[in-house]
Structure formats: C-alpha cells, structure tokens
Amino acid sequence: MNRNLAFGAGLTAVFVLAALISFAWVPQDVTQMDIANKIRPPSPAHPLGTDHFGRDILSMIMVGARTSIAVALVAVGIGMGLGVPLGLAAAARKGGWLDEVIMRANDLVFAFPSLLIAIMITAIFGASALNAIIAIGIFNIPVFARLTRSGALSLWTRDFVLAARVAGKGAARISFEHILPNVTNLLIVQGTIQFSLGILAEAGLSYVGLGAQPPTPSWGRMLADSQTMVSFAPHMALFPGLAILLTVLGLNLMGDGLRDLLDPRLRRDRQ
Amino acid sequence: MFSGWLRAGALSAAAVVASVGWAQARTDLVVGMQLEPPHLDPTSAAAGAIDSVLYSNVFEGLTRFMSDGSVVPGLAESWEISEDGTVYTFTLRSGVSFHDGTAMDAEDVKFSLDRARAEDSQNAQKALFADIDTVEVVDPQTVRVTLKQPNGSFLFNMAWGDAVIVAPESIDGIKQQPVGTGAFKFSNWVQGDRIEIVKNPDYWGEPAKLDRATFKFIADPTAAFAAVMAEDVHVFSGFPAPENLPQFEADPRFQVLVGSTEGETILGTNNKMPPFDNVKVREALAHAIDRQAIIDGAMFGYGTPIGTHFAPHNPDYVDLTGMSDYDPEKSKALLAEAGFPDGFTTTLKLPPPSYARRGGEIIAAQLREVGIQTEITNLEWPQWLEEVFRGKDFGLTIVSHTEPADINIYARPDYYFQYDNPAFQQLMTDLNNTTDPAGRSAILKQAQEMIAGDYVNGYLFQLAALSVANAKVMGLWANAPTQATDLTGVYWED
C-alpha cells in the first residue's frame, strides 16, 4: 500500500469524520456565546480553547469542516458535471467548430486569476456560501474539460473505439460507454486535487468576508477574526490554521497516492 | 585624500556628539488613523475623516470645541447677543491672516456663512445654518448675524467643523489645497498614504510646538497594531482593535487614552418596516439585548451602556437603561403579545467597524434566544450608505452616531430609521425656541424619555475614544467631543 495514500486518506478521513459527527454531536453549540469565558486557552473543558465570543473552538472547527467540505464538494461536482461532458464532446468532434468553441471558452476562463474572479462574483452577487460555491465551481469546469479532452483524444484512436464505431455506435454513446470509464482514474486524481484547492479557496473567500456568513462557522473567518488577537491568543489562529493546512495536505497526498496507484504508466516507470 | 576622509569623519562624529549632547525634544509627529479623507474641504462633505485631520489644526471657526466639549471663542474674540436672542454681534480677532497671506476679516465670515447656507451649498450640516436670516459686515472686525428665531445652540453650531471660516480667494482649490487660519499649514497629500502639515509661523494665537505632523492612513487593524508597536506612528487616534489595548497598557513605551465620544452606538431599527412598526416588537428587541455582553464581547469592556440617544457625559443625560433592561422572558412575552409567539426573521446589515461586525454577531445570538432570526450581511461603507442610510432597505443595523448633540435627527421622519412622531418634532421646535438653560435642559430630558419610551432604536452603548500614543507625547485630546485630532497643543516630553 502506498504510504502517501494511506497518510493522506487518514488525514482526510479525520476531517470528514469530524464533519459527519458534528451533525449529531458537538462539544458545545456553536451559536452559544459565553462572553464571560472568552479567549480562554485550551483546557479540559475546551480542548482547543474558546474564541473572542467564548465559543468552543473545537466545535467551531468541526462545524467549519462541514462548511469547507460542502463548498469544495459541490464546487468539484459543478466542475465535473459540466467539464467532463464538455471535454468528451470536444474530443469527439476534434478539430471541428464545437471543439474550437469549447476549448477557446476554456482558455478564456483559464486566463483569469480564479480567486480574483471568485471575489468579483461574490462582490457582485453578495457574499454567501452559495455564491462562493458557484464562483469556485465555475473555475473547476475548464480544468476537467481539458483533462477529459486530452485523455479522450488518445482513446479515440484505439482499436476498441474503432470496433465500437464499426458496430454503428454514435459519438455520444461511445463517449459515455467506452471513453468515460477509461478516463475515470484521471478524473479521480484531479478531483482530489481540485477538492483541496476548493477548500483553500473557500477559506480564502471567508477570510476576506466573502464566504459563508456568520453565524455559520468557517475556518477562513475564524482566522480573520483571530488576526488582531494572535499576539496574545495564538490558539485562536493556530487551530483553524492547522485544520486548513492538514486537510489540504491530506487531500494532496491522497491525490498523489491515487495517481501512483491508478496510472499504469507511472507504475511501470517506478519499477 | 586621506586627510579629507579624516576630516569628514571627524565632522560627522562631531555632529553625532552634538546631536546627542543637545538632545532637544522632537518636533515632528506621525499620527495614524484608519480612514483617509475623500477631499480636504470640511465645509462640503459629511466625512468625519476630513475634520480628523484639519479641524483646529488648519481650519478654525468663530467658536471652537475644547477637549471637554465646551465651546470657547475661536476666530471671534467676543460676541454680544441681543435681548430677544436673535442678533449675534461677533467681534473678530485682529491680525488674523490666512495661510496664503490674505487677511481674515468680516467679509470672509460673511462669505463662509452665506456659502454654507446657500441654496446650492454642499454643506453636510445645513441645519446648523438654517436659522440664519442675514449676515452683515459692520466693519472689518465686526459681523452681525441675525437669526429668524432664537436658537439656543447657535454658538455651539458655529464650533462645528462644517462651520469653519474659509476665504473666497482660495475656495476653488480647497479640496486639494486647503487654506485656513490655523496653527498648521497644509503641506502635502500623498493620496492613499499620508497628509503632511507644517507649523504656521504667522499664527495669531499661541504657536504650535510641533514643526511638522504627518497623518498616515492605515485601514487594517493588524497593520495599525504593528505600526504602533514598531513606533512607525507615534499616535493612533481612534485605534480600531480594542483587544490590543491591554498590551499597549502593559508596555511602558506607550500610553493608552480612553475618553468619551459623542458616538451613541445603536441597533438602528427600520420603524416603517413590519414588524418593527409595532412598538411592542421594538420593546421586545430592547429587552432581548444584553448591553454588557456586547460591550465586553465587541469592545473588550470599553464603552458605557446607554438607554437613549444621548451622551452620558452630558449634564442633561438621563439614565434610562432600566427601561430596556435585559429580560429575555419579558421579550418573549411581548413578542407573543404582538402576534409573533414563534418570532420572525429579519435582516441585520452591518458596516465595517468592529463594534458593528462583532456586536452584530452577539446581537444575532441574543435575538435568537427570544426567537428572532437574523440574516447577517456585512457591508462596506459605500454599500451601507446606499442600501441602509439612503435606500432604507434593512430591518436592523448597527451604527454609531458620532455627531454631537444629535437627538434632533429623531425629528426627521425621512431619516434612515424613519421615526415619525409629531410630538417629538414639536419638542425639537420648542427646543430651538428656548434659550434659557433650565428650559432647554427640561426639554432635552423629555426628548430622551420620549424616544426611549417609543423604543425607536435599540440603545447599546456610548463609544469610547480609544487612542494609543507614545508615552512621551503630551497634550493630546483624550475625549472626542467632535471628530478632531487637535495637535495645536501637542509636544514631545524630553
């Protein structure tokens, strides 16, 4: 078993589990403020301390994981859901006008710095978790479209595809029945990487106040809130910061591990 | 060659010794503040940042505020008020000149007042001048102002930054090149960074002790903290992060000045929007709010609870906090009575200052306890002015009203919280017609009770003036009776 994969999957599982558990139970209600007990360092009652409103930071991180994962998951979903069919279509009509239109539109989206446009979208349509999802999702579309197209192009020249064509199957059917299953491994690897980027983007947007709005806890906003207090309450910044770091690290390691596992060419190279 | 080097070395060494030996007090000062002025004409914009830089330093009015809020003679040396309280005859100081060298005389006063009250005036506080009927030049040192009706607060009005005296010669460039009569002259403005002022050697009064001062604009609280800690700025007036003040207090290099402001911080309530048009709902809001928790949580303990729209340090203040004490059970009962046993959902739109952003989160949690759900939207100032202040598209908001003695805003039915009570409007008319202090005091107290009884807004706390300064900087204002950073008496201790 691949060490990267095991470690990455383990880290990711911890946070996914924390998010799932938070639906049923958290140490302390995150909307419950206790001003008298604000900015307390870690203690048995509050393992990660309390924030500037006396809320339990462990609970905030657990519920915040929910926000991060939900935003990233849906954003990757949007990217895959739209990007993969576009990529398949472009590959099937290689060199045609459809291919040109799709790929040039992709280039257009790629040309803009993604976080900047995400900020613009949330600034225009208002700051909310939903708009953050859409903004991040839009930038996932070209990533998946390109990947799918390049993977699919090499498959279109293969004999089994030729056989399918001879059998009279249409381009759409071939794309979904024969091409898609063979690019799935690529998509899983890229999906994992995009997932980690989505979590980072959500944290970034929340940090500047454009992500999930209070009282919904979010790691990025926890960091922003603690900014002026770092000098005397480092725990307030440390734990949400670590949560972001470890989740992104875990997902990246998992992505690397999955690539090693799923990509047969790489496996051969290593041996 | 060699000897040249040696000589240069000896000279510079001597210079170092001399400068150490003489150790004169510093005469330069860097003042940090959060907001940069949009332009530099205090008589044509509501932006308090303009006054924060220029009031008293560069521009002066007929009268002026002192740090304790009292009104003293400014460019007017003395004045006489007629028996019926409608004619004010001001005697101007002699020998006062503007920074461009032209003399300040009665013509300039007439020009300034007429310009401020003109039909097309851009003045943000035209109400200050509304009672003026005519302004006449008697002789170069004497101005006679006739009011349409007696106005007990006329001298107070003339002390505002919006009523400073400007010259017709320099009015065209005033937004970029302000020319006033103050102890400092405007020198340079690097937009987005700093404004520099230098000592006016020809000042009519006691000259400034500083030779030059720089106002540096640092919007980010973390950067403000770092700039003060690194001693890049010597004074930060209106320090944005109260949570950092204990660290400055513990550090002998710094002093923390905690004073009073005219800033009543309120939970602005849209009185025209259901369900807030029901006084029972507004009363329920008032009882759902725990002021002390907001002061502790949002301002780290800095602030005084208020029960009405009036500054607690004012002698006419009535403590009405008891009328809206924290009582969630009573709040729930009132909501049920008003027809909302299960509460309701409304919007809470918050401008950028931390009192609003943090206070908003705390208030949202407190309202949730009694069943009122709030959708929080964080807005930047221009958006807030557009949506809330002008557009009146909000349920609740939090804002601090920093203008002095501004209870009369409740007499304006089109003001953003839309309180429309003819009885109150009559009260304000009576106030303007009363010059006798006892009568004014009685009316002001009645007015405070009326708005507290109508639960117009949620009254939270009086904003504290929080400044951090180098421990050796003396003569700073601790209080903020108006938006000002008066440097005319500031000096460095040896």
In a domain, A166, yes or no: yes
* Angle B180-B186-B188 from CA coordinates, rounded to 5°: 155
Percent of chain B with pLDDT over 70: 95
Query: Taking CB atoms and an 8 Å limit, are B364 and A215 in contact across chains?
Result: yes
CATH number at residue B279: 3.10.105.10
In a domain, A137, yes or no: yes
In a domain, A193, yes or no: yes
**CB contact A38 to B (< 8 Å):** yes
In a domain, A34, yes or no: no
Q: What is the mean pLDDT of residues B92-116?
A: 93
Kindly report the average pLDDT of chain B as a whole number.
90
In a domain, B355, yes or no: yes
In a domain, A116, yes or no: yes
| Count of domains observed in chain B | 1
Question: What domain range includes position A104?
Answer: 3-21+55-262
- Whole-number pLDDT of residue B22: 52
pLDDT digits (tens, 9 = 90+) for B158-206: 999 999 999 998 899 999 999 999 999 999 999 999 999 999 999 999 9
Q: Which of B221, B297, B368 sits opposite A228 (nearest CB)?
A: B221
B352 to chain A: closest CA residue: A209
pLDDT digits (tens, 9 = 90+) for A46-87: 999 999 898 999 999 999 999 999 999 999 999 999 999 999
In a domain, B320, yes or no: yes
Query: Taking CB atoms and an 8 Å limit, are B378 and A228 in contact across chains?
Result: no
Q: What is the mean pLDDT of residues A29-38?
A: 86
In a domain, A267, yes or no: no
In a domain, A44, yes or no: no
**CB contact B221 to A (< 8 Å):** yes
Q: For B175, list phi and psi in degrees, rounded to 5.
A: -70, -25
pLDDT digits (tens, 9 = 90+) for B20-66: 445 578 899 999 999 899 999 999 887 788 999 999 999 999 999 99
In a domain, B376, yes or no: yes
In a domain, B402, yes or no: yes
Q: What is the mean pLDDT of residues A209-220?
A: 87
Compute the CA torsion angle B113, B116, B119, B121 (nearest 10 deg). Answer: 160
In a domain, B443, yes or no: yes
Does a cis peptide bond (omega within 30 degrees of 0) precede residue A214? Answer: no
**CB contact B352 to A (< 8 Å):** no
* Angle A165-A169-A170 from CA coordinates, rounded to 5°: 100
Distance of CA B451 to the CA centre of its chain: 22
Give the three-state DSSP class for B268: strand
Query: Taking CB atoms and an 8 Å limit, are B360 and A214 in contact across chains?
Result: yes
- Whole-number pLDDT of residue B70: 87
Query: Taking CB atoms and an 8 Å limit, are B368 and A31 in contact across chains?
Result: yes
In a domain, B94, yes or no: no
Query: Chain B residues with CB inside 8 Å of A36's CB?
Result: 296
Measured distance CA(B200)–CA(B212) in Å, rounded:
10
Q: Which of B244, B297, B361 sits opposite A228 (nearest CB)?
A: B244
**CB contact A41 to B (< 8 Å):** no
Q: What is the mean pLDDT of residues A176-201?
A: 91
Contacts of A210 (CB under 8 A, 6+ apart): A118, A119, A122, A123, A127, A131, A132
How close, in Å, is residue A27 to chain B by CA atoms? 18
In a domain, B280, yes or no: yes
Among B421, B416, B376, B420, which Cα is nearest to B393's? B416
Among B255, B357, B242, which Cα is nearest to B301's? B242
Parallel/antiparallel/unpaired status of strands B28-33 and B254-269:
unpaired
pLDDT band at A111 (very low <50, low <70, confident <90, very high): confident
CATH number at residue A171: 1.10.3720.10
Following DSSP, what letter does each residue of B313-348 receive, concatenated? TSTT----GGGG---HHHHHHHHHHTT-TT--EEEE
- Check whether B11 has a pLDDT greater than 60: no
ipTM of model: 0.79
Dihedral of CA B120/B126/B127/B128: which sign? negative
Query: Taking CB atoms and an 8 Å limit, are B297 and A228 in contact across chains?
Result: no
| Count of domains observed in chain A | 1
In a domain, A106, yes or no: yes
- Whole-number pLDDT of residue B50: 92
Measured distance CA(A204)–CA(A197) in Å, rounded:
10
- Check whether B392 has a pLDDT greater than 70: yes
pLDDT band at A268 (very low <50, low <70, confident <90, very high): low
Question: What domain range includes position B452?
Answer: 263-463
